[in-house]
Amino acid sequence: MGIVYRAHDEVLVRDVAVKFLLPERVPGGEPSARFLREARAVARLSHPNVMTLHDIGREGRWHYLVLEYIPGRNLHDAMLDHGGRLPLDEALHAIRGALEALAYAHARGFLHRDIKPENIMLTASGQVKVTDFGLALARGDARLTQEGMIMGTALYLAPEVVAGAPSDSRSDLYAIGAVLYELLAGRPPFAGEDLMAVLSQILSALVTSPRAFAVDISPEIEGVILKLLSKNPADRYASADEVLAALPLPAGRAALSSGAWAARGSSATPEDQAPPSGRIRVLLADDQALFREGLRTLLSVQPDFEVVGEAGNGEEAVRLAAALSPDVVLMDLRMPVLDGVAATRRLSAALPGCKVIVLTTFDDDEYIFEGLRAGALGYVLKDVASDVLFEAVRAAARGESVLQPSVAAKVVAQFARLADRSTRSQPARSLVEPLSERELEVLALIAEGKSNKEIAAVLYIAEGTVKNHVTNILGKLGVRDRTQAALRVHELGLI
């Protein structure tokens, strides 16, 4: 929700990070209240592992926070430096520092709500700092984000958050478990080709042991991770202090010396930065020229947006995206030549770095789930307020998912139904025809959110063979798509 700059405090002779709230979001109401709440939340937290708030102010129409400048790397960049996985000692050191920050914050009534590798930093000396407590929620302080909005990085959402239930400190601990899993295994605990697949796995799929990807992970650490990732919050650790007690200490600290980290650079600041170019490149795809013109005008007045092209149909959108490399595509669904769902699916396969937000007038369940399954990172209706659209574009550019309230409600309801079916007994409906052993194997992988290509690789069969199995499975289950098949799996107790 802000833009961050590195600056120099000439009075105290120190570098700082200055976070600005865009002027159009300042005048009053929710945006200003959320900004002030962020300041109050961070100002009340004073801990070596929490980013420090130095000052808050207003210059004309701009509100700003003056924050501690943190030279170093966030954990996402650190994993890239190491080619995927972090060494065990570095991972344990980082996670223990983050847990110290959460233990302190939780004891004072604050949740972080957005724990992820990008929000955990290590300074040049190896000091762990947790950033962006802007989503912190103080007990007793009404939530000021728009009610029902789903925003954030899906990979680290706890199952209860996906199902629409209230979150608490154990939701932050789940996210810590997901981050530790990724640091040591080199991949997140759940991944899929689209948002719906990821959410489905978080809610219902079993966690693959991290030792399947990294045999050097000890059984002790594996046990801590799997307990943190329990579907039921009651099965997790009750507090960050409990996790600290269970988690082994790093065997050595030499790898965290200032020289080791300084060699990797010192340019990082809080995570709300725009892409390296400084502006988010946006491609518009809509068959209504008048709507595109208005949308271009609306986006162009934002200092961090650049509209790089317009497409009148899905085919043209795919072609222009390949030529222009936009960060975000705003995609209509109903277009000639190639519709938005098909175009999104092609873009997701060919240009995984290009993020798609569906921008449409349709809020039918079928459109929503088809768009998300095709790979869209967000789903927004055309009657949305402009500031919500702006934030959706910025969030998508950061790789985060955004669903506006009316859409989020449908997604949450879908997964709430799945959660309900998995926790209570139901009379099983009989199959149209029994499934073969191979079909059961394919069905289990469908329930994990895997694509036909991924299933083919796991089972060592041709992708065309997988497609035939999927067709047979849908017929035998009496359902029309993969999501319904995943639901039937739990209803029938097949796997």
Selection from 77-86, 274-283, 321-330, 479-488 with the highest mean pLDDT: 321-330
Question: Residue 466, CB half-sphere, CA atoms under 13 Å: how many?
Answer: 21
Catalytic residues: 114
pLDDT at 350: 86
Q: In what order do the strands lie in the sheet with 62-68?
A: 2-9, 14-21, 62-68, 53-59
Q: Indicate the helix (H) or strand (E) that contains 150.
A: strand 150-152
Q: Which of 22-31, 320-329, 467-476 has the lowest mean pLDDT?
A: 22-31
Q: Per-residue pLDDT for 47 more than 90? A: no
Are 198 and 449 in contact, with CB atoms under 8 Å apart? Answer: yes
Per-residue model confidence (pLDDT) at position 399? 81
Q: Count Cβ atoms within 10 A of the Cβ of residue 288 and give its class: 0-12 exposed, 13-18 middle, 19 or more buried.
A: middle
Residue 118 in contact with residue 74, Cβ under 8 Å? yes
Going from the C-alpha of 134 to that of each of 44, 103, 331, the distances in angstroms are: 12, 17, 29
Q: pLDDT-derived band of residue 180, with 50, 70 and 90 as boundaries? A: very high
Backbone angles phi, psi at 280, to 5 degrees: -90, 120
Q: CA geometry: angle at 391 spanning 386 and 393, to 5°? A: 95
- Give the DSSP per-residue string, 287-347: S-HHHHHHHHHHHHTSTTEEEEEEESSHHHHHHHHHHH--SEEEE-SS-SSS-HHHHHHHH
Name the residue with higher pLDDT: 309 or 193. Answer: 309
The predicted-structure confidence for 308-350, as pLDDT tens digits, reads as follows 999 999 999 999 999 899 999 999 988 988 999 999 989 988 8
CA-CA distances (angstroms) from residue 189 to 63, 158, 272, 380?
38, 12, 24, 28
pTM exceeds 0.75, yes or no: no
pLDDT at res. 170? 93
More confident residue, 449 or 352: 352
Q: Given this model, what pLDDT does residue 137 score? A: 41
**What's the CA gap between 204 and 223, in Å, rounded?**
19
Instruction: Say yes or no to pLDDT of 184 above 90.
Output: yes
Question: How many CA atoms lie less than 13 Å away from 221 in the CB half-sphere?
Answer: 22
Question: What residue ranges define each of the domains in the chain, with the CATH number in brackets?
Answer: 2-68 (3.30.200.20), 72-262 (1.10.510.10), 280-397 (3.40.50.2300), 430-492 (1.10.10.10)
28-43: burial string, b at 16+ Cβ within 10 Å, e else: eeebbebbebbbebbe
| Residues 6 or more apart in contact with residue 26 via CB below 8 angstroms | 32, 35, 61, 62, 63
pLDDT of res. 201: 85
102-141: b (≥16 Cβ within 10 Å) or e: bbbbbeeebbbbbbbbbbbbbbbebbbbbbbbbbbbeeee
d(CA 482, CA 449): 9
For 433-457, give the secondary structure using H, E and C: CCCCHHHHHHHHHHHCCCCHHHHHH
Could you give phi then psi for residue 471, rounded to 5 degrees? Answer: -60, -45
pLDDT of residue 394: 87
Confidence of residue 211 (pLDDT cuts 50, 70, 90): confident
**Cα 339 to Cα 202, 292, 300, 311, 380, distances in angstroms:** 29, 16, 26, 12, 17
User: d(Cα 214, Cα 171) in Å, to the nearest integer?
Assistant: 25
Radius of gyration over every alpha carbon of the chain, rounded to an integer in angstroms: 23
| Cβ neighbours around 423 below 10 Å, total | 10
359 secondary structure, DSSP code: E
What is residue 139's predicted lDDT score, i.e. its pLDDT? 40
List, edge to edge, every strand of the sheet that includes 328-331. 150-152, 401-403, 378-381, 355-360, 328-331, 280-285, 305-311
The pLDDT of residue 432 is above 90 = no
The string over 459-488, giving b where at least 16 C-beta atoms fall within 10 Å of a residue's C-beta and e elsewhere, is eebeeeebeebbebbbebbeeeebbebbbb
pLDDT at 174: 95
Asked whether the predicted pLDDT for residue 5 surpasses 90, the reply is no
* Band of residue 161 on the pLDDT scale cut at 50, 70, 90: confident
For CA atoms 418, 420, 422, 428, the dihedral sign is negative
Query: Is the distance from CB of 351 to CB of 323 less than 8 angstroms?
Result: no
Pairing label, strands 128-130, 137-138: unpaired
Average pLDDT over residues 406-429: 56
Lowest mean per-residue pLDDT among 82-91, 255-264, 466-475: 255-264
Average the pLDDT over 341-369 and give the result.
Answer: 86
Mean pLDDT of 165-191: 91
pLDDT at 138 (0 to 100): 41
Question: SS3 for 358?
Answer: strand
Is the distance from CB of 371 to CB of 411 less than 8 angstroms?
no
Task: Give the other-Cβ count within 10 Å of 257's Cβ.
Answer: 13
Work out the mean pLDDT of the chain and round it to a whole number.
78
Dig out the tokens for 27 from the structure.
């005048």
Q: Which residue has the higher pLDDT, 221 or 199?
A: 221
Res. 107: pLDDT tops 70: yes
Banded pLDDT at 191 (limits 50, 70, 90): confident
Predicted local distance difference test score (pLDDT) of residue 24: 52
